[in-house]
Amino acid sequence: MDASATAAKPFDFAPLLPADLPAPAAKWNGFPKYNFVGGHNDAAQVPVDELVAAATAVLKREGRTLATYGLESGPLGYRRLREFLVEKLKRDAGISCTADEILITSGSLQGIELVNGLLLSRGDTVLVEQVTYFGSLNRLARLGVKAIGVPLDHEGLRLDALSAALDDLQASGIRPKYIYTIPTVQNPTGAIMGEERRLGLLRLAEAHNVPIFEDDCYADLIWDGKRPPAIYALSRSRNVIHIGSFSKSIAPALRVGYVVADWSVLSRMLPLKTDAGTGALEQMVLAEYCAPHFAAHIPELTRALRAKLETMMEALAEQFGTAAEFDDPKGGIFLWVKLPGVVDTQKLAQAALAAGVAINPGFEWSPDKPYGKSRMRLCFGHPSHAEIREGIAVLADVCRREFGVPSRIANVERPTAGRPVSDSQDGQRRL
């Protein structure tokens, strides 16, 4: 008692905090045992030896330039990385741009924030996909921007639904600030929008004088390596801002992404990037690594990811039977799963986490919360094949206990559920 009486009274920060501060973070206690959330990648595919060689070469050659903010490349980012991107974007996405039309960002998350900072004010409206990246929805909510979800099909954004939404807004005198789309391996559905759909989307956007915000951060992870041109590449009116990332193609802990836009747009965005530059060592190592190795690395990575996806689909079929419906995505690191309507995936996620299994409940991934209620996103990039099998078994067990589905667990009086057919003709499969 005496000791505490003489100790200084602890300062109370609470009365100083803004009213809208998010809830406190919990202490981090390591990853869950079965981790099916987050854009983590396959650890075995991190090209460690080549990254060592790249770091050694680029540091020996240019390490002294670390003494200046922005190296000797200025605020758009390390020039050799932008030059690599000029070639990569031309080859893979059909984009013709110069190094001065690329802004290197601290992850594509910063790209999202810069686009939002450029275009959005509180009270604005944007159009998004009916289910879409949680982090984008979150940011829009924090900014006080209304996100209207547009229904999807197996090719992504449905143009009839988009047209109706644009007409509705126009009738209400509202000009949406952008149409946000993840057209190439949609998050979470994995859909890839075909070229015709992209052209139709551009026609609609141009007719309504609305720009398109194209998020291509998963676009490198396609099983057959084939993708349509970026919407950015197809636009003749230059009404598209394009973002991408190295997080999914090389390693998520490297925080390097990029924005592609006309200089007239980038020059307005650049003053909002007040971080004194994106980490230069990561940019340098990526440029040095990617120029010779990127094109060969991607098929190795996607082969490993595809194999994990197969394991996950098999495990779901085995453990959930017909209770789990999903398409067979053409790329990516996640599976979007529909469970029976009786399942509330928000509650499932809580119960599963207590059993060591982390999943993304669907409501987080949708501006239309009820739509996401019985859906979940399962990421398969990081866990091992064994962890995928075990984790899905635990998840099924928890789901059965909490919601009564699936009605039987694996190998115990389970209705026959065929082995997933991964080569079905239309690239989709419902189980």
- Integer Cα distance of 228 and 220 in angstroms: 12
- Integer Cα distance of 77 and 68 in angstroms: 12
Among 72, 87, 160, 196, binds a second copy (CB under 8 A): 72
- Integer Cα distance of 211 and 137 in angstroms: 18
Interface with a second copy, residue 271, by CB under 8 A: yes
Interface with a second copy, residue 28, by CB under 8 A: yes
Structure tokens at 132: 């879409």
Interface with a second copy, residue 208, by CB under 8 A: no
Interface with a second copy, residue 229, by CB under 8 A: no
Residues numbered 92 to 111 that lie near a second copy (CB under 8 A) are 100, 106-107, 109-110
**CB 427 → a second copy: shortest distance, Å?**
27
Among 32, 36, 41, 311, binds a second copy (CB under 8 A): 41
- Integer Cα distance of 345 and 14 in angstroms: 34
Nearer to a second copy, 12 or 413 (CB): 12
Measured in degrees and rounded to the nearest 5, phi and psi for residue 126 equal -130, 160
Interface with a second copy, residue 357, by CB under 8 A: no
Interface with a second copy, residue 192, by CB under 8 A: no
Interface with a second copy, residue 356, by CB under 8 A: no
**CB 92 → a second copy: shortest distance, Å?**
22
Nearest to 315 by CA among 222, 379, 234, 396: 396
Phi-psi region of 38 (alpha: psi -120 to 50; beta: other; left: phi over 0): left
**CB 294 → a second copy: shortest distance, Å?**
16
Nearer to a second copy, 110 or 345 (CB): 110
- Integer Cα distance of 397 and 83 in angstroms: 50
Among 99, 161, 281, 351, binds a second copy (CB under 8 A): 281
Sheet arrangement for strand 360-361: 334-338, 375-379, 360-361
**CB 176 → a second copy: shortest distance, Å?**
10
Interface with a second copy, residue 386, by CB under 8 A: no
Interface with a second copy, residue 206, by CB under 8 A: yes
Interface with a second copy, residue 136, by CB under 8 A: no
CB 364 within 8 A of CB 426: no
Interface with a second copy, residue 46, by CB under 8 A: yes
Among 1, 2, 4, 10, binds a second copy (CB under 8 A): 10
In this structure, how many other beta carbons lie within 10 angstroms of the beta carbon of residue 188? 29
- Integer Cα distance of 259 and 245 in angstroms: 9
Interface with a second copy, residue 427, by CB under 8 A: no
Interface with a second copy, residue 119, by CB under 8 A: yes
Question: What angle separates helix 195-207 from helix 159-171, to the nearest 10 degrees?
Answer: 10
Interface with a second copy, residue 45, by CB under 8 A: yes
- Integer Cα distance of 429 and 372 in angstroms: 20
